[in-house]
Amino acid sequence: MPQRPASPCTTPGCANRHREKGRCDACKARQPTSTARTAPYRGAWPRIRLDYLSRHPYCALCPRLAEHADHWPRSLRQLLAQNVPDPHADHRLRPLCASCHSAATWQHQPGGHRWAYRDR
């Protein structure tokens, strides 16, 4: 059976070629896995989130039912960077519906679309 032709790595800016689809082995080793990004939301967070939403059932920004316990006014990333002892405390959360959560994240989180145009 003939070998698959070498294809370019799918990581932007990488010139490596390899025989599999996707990223090359060097890029896979360099980039963090999704587990590293989602680790703060593991453990007790699902229970804390459900408990918080049962006590705060409505969105803080509109009259719809809340689906997300949003870290506010600082993001979870900021709270962890500041070594806050309890980043999931009630006074650091607000209940949001899905559309308000998406809009708030789009507007305030680094790496979001809106963030790129913030200083223009």
pLDDT digits (tens, 9 = 90+) for 26-72: 877 776 655 555 677 778 899 999 999 999 999 999 999 999 999 99
Co-location of 63 and 100 in the same domain:
yes
Co-location of 2 and 59 in the same domain:
no
Co-location of 24 and 73 in the same domain:
no
CA-to-CA distance for 24 and 30, rounded, in angstroms? 10
| Predicted TM-score of the model (pTM) | 0.61
Co-location of 58 and 89 in the same domain:
yes
Instruction: Tell whether omega for the bond before 2 is within 30 degrees of 0, i.e. cis.
Output: no
Co-location of 75 and 112 in the same domain:
yes
Phi, psi of 7 (to 5 degrees): -120, 160
Co-location of 24 and 60 in the same domain:
no
3-state secondary structure the chain: CCCCCCEECCCCCCCCEECCCCCCHHHHHHCCCHHHHHHHHCCCHHHHHHHHHHHCCECCCCCCECCEEEECCCCHHHHHHCCCCCCCCHHHEEEECHHHHHHHHHHHCCCCHHHHCCCC
Phi, psi of 86 (to 5 degrees): -130, 85
At 26, list the tokens: 């060097």
Co-location of 98 and 47 in the same domain:
yes
Co-location of 47 and 101 in the same domain:
yes
Co-location of 65 and 98 in the same domain:
yes
Residue-number span of the structural domain to which 76 is assigned:
43-116
Co-location of 78 and 111 in the same domain:
yes
Number of domains present in the structure of the chain: 2
Co-location of 105 and 52 in the same domain:
yes
Co-location of 80 and 104 in the same domain:
yes
At 101, list the tokens: 């959560």
Query: How confident is the model over 59-91, as pLDDT tens digits?
Result: 999 999 999 999 999 988 889 889 999 999 999
- Please list the residues that pair with 70 across neighbouring strands: 94
